[in-house]
Chain A
Amino acid sequence: KAGVTQTPRYLIKTRGQQVTLSCSPISGHRSVSWYQQTPGQGLQFLFEYFSETQRNKGNFPGRFSGRQFSNSRSEMNVSTLELGDSALYLCASSLGRQTSYEQYFGPGTRLTVT
């Protein structure tokens, strides 16, 4: 089975711009979760989508949003980028809800905001 794929792998944006990241889960997985990883804050949960519905959300401002399509693929969007948004964004998929099932992670998208 193909693993979780994320595109793009690297991205450089300037402050104020917006960005959209994409995640394709493992076939058959219905849950997609997003995480932000930074050296200072570690791994922080952004949100989880299950069956096209956002089921849970972390403590991030409304500039961070996402969606899930009927084929379980997911996108996350960050508007009005700030320098502090520079991070590795990880997507993970699981058969069921993220907190009861093991997750399989993608390689991440490294976002740099200048």
Chain B
Amino acid sequence: AQKVTQAQTEISVVEKEDVTLDCVYETRDTTYYLFWYKQPPSGELVFLIRRNSFDEQNEISGRYSWNFQKSTSSFNFTITASQVVDSAVYFCALSGNSGGSNYKLTFGKGTLLTVNP
């Protein structure tokens, strides 16, 4: 079975600090996708990034960056110079072809990030 672990339940930082959200995954599949989603207080999940298992290149998008390391089964998310608007719950998710021909998507428990002014 596949599994996503976000060990940090809650993180609190002061504005302009850098913060890294950890995501560790388990899967037996050789082909899989990893995702990050953001859920602000309004409740609607917002897609941030998708990465396939064959692409270990790190990605940067503005203040956001992602570090994918297959050797440690991790897909960490860093926010540089955090802002109050970054306050949200962040979910890491994994899809793979476990137990059959259909892909399944599994979410981690989420990390609540609070950025204080």
A residues whose Cβ falls under 8 Å from a Cβ of B: 33, 35, 42-45, 55-56, 58, 88, 90, 92, 97-108
Contacts and interface: CB of A to CB of B under 8 A. Distances in A.
B50 A43 contact: no
Contacts of A107: 42-44
Contacts of A104: 47
Q: Which 6 A-B pairs have the closest CB atoms?
A: A99-B95, A99-B103, A105-B45, A102-B47, A43-B107, A42-B109
Interface of B: 33, 35, 37, 42-47, 50, 91, 95-96, 102-110
B44 A105 contact: yes
A33 to B, nearest CB: 7
Given A92-B45, A100-B95, A105-B44, 11 more contacts: A33-B105, A43-B91, A43-B107, A43-B110, A55-B102, A56-B104, A58-B104, A98-B103, A99-B96, A103-B45, A106-B44
